[in-house]
Amino acid sequence: MSTSLDVIIKRMAMIFLVVGVLFGVILIFSYDIIKIDWPSFMEIQPSYKQMEDPLPPPERSIPIEGPISIPGMGAPENPTTADEASVTRGAELFAIHCQMCHGPTGEGNGPVAPFLVNFKPANLTSAVVQSKSDGSFFLTISNGVDGKMPALNENLTVPERWDVVNFLRTLKASE
């Protein structure tokens, strides 16, 4: 009786030892004492930071939201008629996405403008800006101005951007 108890205790001790060592080895890896670069780590991914250029569309992809710029194909044509509905929508979107920098009248005097030290928001009523094409406005809204104005392609859908463009044209009058 006593001998078989001895054997059982020894076996149990052995099992605990083996399991304990295994557990210890696993902890070494899970606490990164020995670091293995598992490919599932969050930092290894094609993410990009705020205000960074948007990722280019995958090769051979076709836009499904209507005529949008295709890199290297120049400025797109405005497909949206500048009727009252479009301009009204554009005005609302301008108040949400642009006014803080460009100001309610588009003259570059929004509440954020004083804090932009290096580059003041463009005066959208000026002849210089108004002489640009609708497609150029569209690209500016979509891609921003490098280091000066953020790309707003994630804030505004393609049709919304054209509504804003149509609204920008009405700013000419206040010049």
Task: Please state at what angle helix 134-143 crosses helix 158-170, rounded to 10 degrees.
Answer: 120
Backbone angles phi, psi at 149, to 5 degrees: -125, 135
- Report how far residue 69's alpha carbon sits from residue 63's, in angstroms, rounded to the nearest whole number: 9
Assign 52 to helix, strand or coil: coil
Closer residue to ligand HEC, CB minimum distance, 6 or 52? 52
Element (H, E) at 162: helix 158-170
- Report how far residue 151's alpha carbon sits from residue 18's, in angstroms, rounded to the nearest whole number: 58
> Could you give the string, one character per residue 144-163, with x where binding to ligand HEC holds by CB under 6 A and - elsewhere?
-x--xxx-x-----------
* Distance of closest approach, residue 142 Cβ to ligand HEC, in angstroms: 9
Helix, strand, coil share (%) of the chain residues, nearest 5: 45, 0, 55
> Could you give the string, one character per residue 101-140, with x where binding to ligand HEC holds by CB under 6 A and - elsewhere?
xx---------x---x--x-xx-x----x--x----x--x
Closer residue to ligand HEC, CB minimum distance, 82 or 116? 116
- Report how far residue 76's alpha carbon sits from residue 83's, in angstroms, rounded to the nearest whole number: 19
* Distance of closest approach, residue 108 Cβ to ligand HEC, in angstroms: 8
Site size for ligand HEC, by CB under 6 A?
23
* Distance of closest approach, residue 53 Cβ to ligand HEC, in angstroms: 15
Closer residue to ligand HEC, CB minimum distance, 67 or 116? 116
Positions touching ligand HEC (CB under 6 A) are 97-98, 100-102, 112, 116, 119, 121-122, 124, 129, 132, 137, 140-141, 145, 148-150, 152, 164, 168
